[in-house]
Amino acid sequence: MPPQTAASPRAEAPAASPPSAVPGASVDLAYVCRGVVDVLEGIDTQSRVSNLRKDLCNALKETFDLDVVPAQVSLKTFVKVDGEWPAEADAEGATTRATVIGNSIATEFEGAGAEGRVHLLVEVSDEEEVVVEEEKKPAAKKPTTKAEEYQRDVESDMARFNKGCVKRVATRTRKASTDDDDVIDAHVPFSEMTEFQYKCIYKGVTINDKHVNETTPLPKDIMDGIRDDYARYIITRGAPWEQNEAQRRAYIASGLDRCIFAVNTAFPVKEEMKLLAEYPIDCDGLRAGGNANWVVKRGDRMLIVIEAKQGDLRKGRYQLLAMMEALRICNK
């Protein structure tokens, strides 16, 4: 199994999870805009960074009397030095990086909360300059940053997905149809996904048939161990695909455990891969949810493991494909 990770972070001594990573927790984020330091209070650590733009628009109105829209607000995250966020006095010359607006608050601003520290640099495009530029070049589009393009991409994917998460209802005068008047919004379980909903969710998605996964061969001792487990399992329990659900789960776990152990051993990083069974896929902002039979998780990123039902991937394929698209959006 190839490692699903970015470059290994700097080695640090193991530490307990910060309060900001606890589900349901909130944190105060200090931001700098036009040389002024202000604070966004009580931000939910599990919400996405993209949600900050609306809060910042309200804050900028109170602080600077600026009437701005989220598209005018660009974000940069300060870079921590020796594990500490920059002090307010050092904010002017501090190093920044592009903010990953698809991250959760807990991930993007890990360890935030200490007083006197700044976390976010906020820049606002001048509305008058934008108007003048549009008058000069009426046919040209306003230049967008990579962060803005990324945000639009995420929002577009979420809107398309949620449009498919509707229930068709019948009226007294006609049968259930696909008209907009005959739909209701709902939080749909993946287990109830229909072919119609699946087609809506994937409408406009380009499928790359030429994609090739790059793999890293497992060490010989790990491969030998997997083969030994397989032979031992077949001898003692019989063919797993002919057994009940519990037997199949035991067989799948025995193979995946060794693969994940091999990846964690060969590529040691702070956040190790974990194999999780019946893991809930319930992403913030998506109108569908449910449990995946197996998920390989590292930090906030997840990889779904396809478990065939009695050797037939076509059974429940709409539910599975909807879950995979939800997971792809969550991983952005």
Mean pLDDT estimate for the chain:
75
pTM above 0.85, yes or no: no
Q: Domain spanning 19-132 has what CATH number?
A: 3.10.20.90
- pLDDT score, position 211: 58
- Residue 105 is given by DSSP the state H
In whole angstroms, give the CA distance from residue 33 to residue 75.
Answer: 10
Q: Which residue has the tokens 């934008």?
A: 130
Domain ranges of the chain: 19-132
- pLDDT score, position 77: 93
- pLDDT score, position 130: 43
**152 and 97 in contact (C-beta within 8 Å)?**
no
Cβ-in-10-Å burial (0-12, 13-18, 19+) of 123 comes to: middle
- pLDDT score, position 283: 78
- pLDDT score, position 13: 43
- pLDDT score, position 254: 81
pLDDT in tens, 3-37: 444 444 444 444 444 444 555 688 999 999 888 88
- pLDDT score, position 3: 47
Mean pLDDT, residues 315-330: 79
pLDDT in tens, 57-105: 988 888 888 888 888 888 999 999 888 999 988 888 889 998 988 888 9
Mean pLDDT, residues 157-170: 68
pLDDT in tens, 269-292: 888 889 888 888 877 778 888 888
